[in-house]
Structure 1
Amino acid sequence: MSTVIEQPVEARLVAAAPRMPNIPATLHYDRRDPFAVRMTFPAPATLEGVDVCWTFSRELLTAGMEQPEGHGDVRVRPYGYDRTVLEFHAPEGTAVVHVRSGELRRFLAATNELVPVGLEYLQLDLDRDLAELMRGSH
């Protein structure tokens, strides 16, 4: 069984101009980091001209589809019938993207099949993580 789920999604960048360009993005979930979701934007879609990856909790994404959630660098809220807004706050500025809620629900369902919500702790290898931490402290 695969330990990673990747799903391309179409994000619409909200800009000052009335036209909202579509940009490709990829949602990524790895059972070795069971609480986290990553969303990657390719270099042509970013101001820096390099791939940009944001990591945030699966719980934030799930909750933000129902009501506004998040107070830090990543904020999520529902928008209309089938859109979810993700805001990414960085020192360089804020990126606001719309993603179809159906695509997010499909992604979250796949992550839940891989690692059911509430059972993430079973994926953690605390002994290995502690050993790596101790090895780095010498």
Structure 2
Amino acid sequence: MSPVIEQAVQARLVASVPRTETVAATLRYDRTDPFAVRMAFPPLATLEGTEVTWEFSRELLASGIHEPVGLGDVRVRPFGYGRTVLEFHAPEGTAMVHLRTSDLRRFLERSEDLVPAGHEHLHLNLDHDLTELLRDAC
């Protein structure tokens, strides 16, 4: 089984004007970085005109389906029936996207097939990470 899961999702960008725009985004989970989820937005959906990727914890995403969570740059909360809102806060402003909760659940289930919640520590390569951290220290 591949150590990486990618899933395309339709993200509804919520603008400050009364309109929404739907863009394709990609959720990514890699068991070599078992605590993290990445969400990439294509160039057309960003102010910079380049792909933008946000990284946040899998636990934040899983909890945010059920209740509002997050105090920092990424916040997640349920929204009505069948939707979840992700808010991305940056110095340039805030991006808010609506996703189908069923898509998020399916992605989380697939990620837990690779690495069950609570077992992430078993997939860390601490020796390698420590070597990389100390590589230039000598």
TM-score by length of 2: 0.98
Q: Which amino acid aligns with 1:102?
A: S
Rounded Cα–Cα distance in structure 1 between residues aligned with 2:49 and 2:88: 17
Structure 1 segments (4+ residues) deviating >2 Å: 16-19
Which stretch of structure 1 is more off in the superposition, 122-131 or 6-15? Answer: 122-131
Correspondence for 2:116: 116
Post-superposition offset of 1:112: 0.3
Post-superposition offset of 1:18: 2.5
In the TM superposition, 1:53-64 aligns within 5 A as 53-64=53-64
Rounded Cα–Cα distance in structure 1 between residues aligned with 2:121 and 2:136: 23
Post-superposition offset of 1:101: 0.2
Q: Which amino acid aligns with 2:35?
A: F
Structure 1: which 5+ residue stretches go unaligned?
none
Post-superposition offset of 1:15: 1.1
Post-superposition offset of 1:130: 1.2
Rounded Cα–Cα distance in structure 1 between residues aligned with 2:42 and 2:136: 33
The answer on 1:129 being equivalent to 2:126 is no
Q: RMSD over aligned Cα, in angstroms?
A: 0.7
What whole-Å deviation, never above 9, does each CA across 1:58-85 have from its counterpart, x for those lacking one?
0000001100000000000000110000
Query: How many aligned residue pairs are there?
Result: 138
Post-superposition offset of 1:133: 1.5
Post-superposition offset of 1:136: 2.2
Rounded Cα–Cα distance in structure 2 between residues aligned with 1:127 and 1:16: 47
Correspondence for 2:74: 74
Post-superposition offset of 1:126: 0.8
Name the SS for the 1:59 alignment partner.
helix
Post-superposition offset of 1:134: 1.8
Q: Which amino acid aligns with 1:71?
A: L
Percentage of identical aligned residues: 64
